[in-house]
């Protein structure tokens, strides 16, 4: 999220927390599920004394953000879901693994090293367990209960967040809208921070 955070930081106060088990956060013995991660995010908001921030999430982080927005709607003001997972129409491990491999053909090579580094730092077992939690999360059932202004952003060439799924996410959100960035892949926060930052600013 660093390139996007830098872009947004030119006009807003930006925080980019690492979820438990990832980045510089503490690593629990086992991977936490979506609900537990959302609880940890809320606890972090309390510790940072942030009242009703706008949440901007990417990929699996979208599922955590949706869980928090659905269970504690009073805690956030806006929601931005960038390349939201996991596609309702492809919720099977082999399909998702194949899509991840296709992502490597779309994204710029430097991103491959960042993804590999982060996965190794979290641990292969933890990353695989988190993948399982993501697959089991019925995110589509939570979206209709989120009433804050919401933006879904998809890269036109994103293999993970299909056009059909992205449209469904936006449709299920009562105040949702979808924007597709031409020619872009999955990691818009990395590859298209300026365009994504402009969309976030327009929403806010």
pLDDT digits over 109-118, tens only?
A: 555 556 666 6
The sign of the dihedral angle between the CA atoms of 62, 53, 200, 189 is negative
pLDDT in tens, 153-174: 999 999 999 999 999 999 999 9
Full set of structural domains in the chain with CATH: 2-203 (3.40.50.1820)
Give the confidence band of 89 by pLDDT, cuts at 50, 70, 90.
confident
3-state helix, strand, coil split of the chain in percent (to 5) is 55, 10, 35
Q: Average pLDDT, stretch 2-7?
A: 92
DSSP character at residue 50: -
| Residues facing residue 80 across a β-bridge | 56, 151
- Asked if 168 contacts 194 with a C-beta cutoff of 8 angstroms, the reply is no
Between 103 and 201, the more confident residue is: 201
- Asked if 59 contacts 86 with a C-beta cutoff of 8 angstroms, the reply is no
Determine the pLDDT at residue 107: 72
What are the start-end ranges of the H helices in 1-47? 2-8, 34-47
Close Cβ partners of 22 (under 8 Å, ≥ 6 residues apart): 118, 121, 122
CA 37 to chain CA centroid, Å, is: 13
- Asked if 21 contacts 28 with a C-beta cutoff of 8 angstroms, the reply is yes
The sign of the dihedral angle between the CA atoms of 54, 56, 62, 63 is negative
| Residues facing residue 151 across a β-bridge | 80, 177
Kind plus residue range of the DSSP H or E element containing 55: strand 54-58
Give the confidence band of 204 by pLDDT, cuts at 50, 70, 90.
very high
Compute the distance between CA of residue 195 and CA of residue 187 in angstroms, rounded to an integer: 12
Compute the distance between CA of residue 58 and CA of residue 81 in angstroms, rounded to an integer: 6
């Amino acid at each position: 999220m660093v390139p996007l955070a830098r872009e947004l930081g030119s006009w807003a106060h930006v925080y980019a927390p690492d979820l438990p088990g990832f980045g510089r956060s503490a690593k629990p013995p086992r991977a936490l599920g979506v609900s537990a991660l959302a609880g940890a995010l809320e606890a972090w908001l309390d510790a940072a004394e942030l009242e009703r921030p706008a949440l901007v999430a990417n990929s699996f982080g979208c599922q955590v953000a949706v869980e928090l927005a659905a269970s504690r709607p009073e805690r956030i003001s806006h929601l931005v879901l960038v390349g939201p997972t996991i596609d309702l129409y492809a919720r099977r491990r082999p399909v998702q693994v194949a899509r991840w491999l296709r992502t490597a053909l779309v994204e710029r090579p430097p991103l491959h090293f960042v993804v590999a580094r982060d996965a190794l730092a979290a641990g292969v077992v933890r990353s695989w367990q988190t993948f399982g939690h993501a697959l089991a999360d019925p995110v589509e059932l939570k979206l209709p209960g989120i009433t804050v202004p919401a933006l879904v952003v998809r890269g036109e060439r994103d293999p993970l967040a299909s056009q059909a799924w992205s449209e469904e996410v936006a449709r299920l959100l009562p105040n949702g809208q979808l924007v597709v960035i031409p020619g872009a892949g999955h990691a818009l926060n990395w590859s298209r921070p300026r365009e994504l930052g402009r969309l976030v600013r327009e929403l806010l």
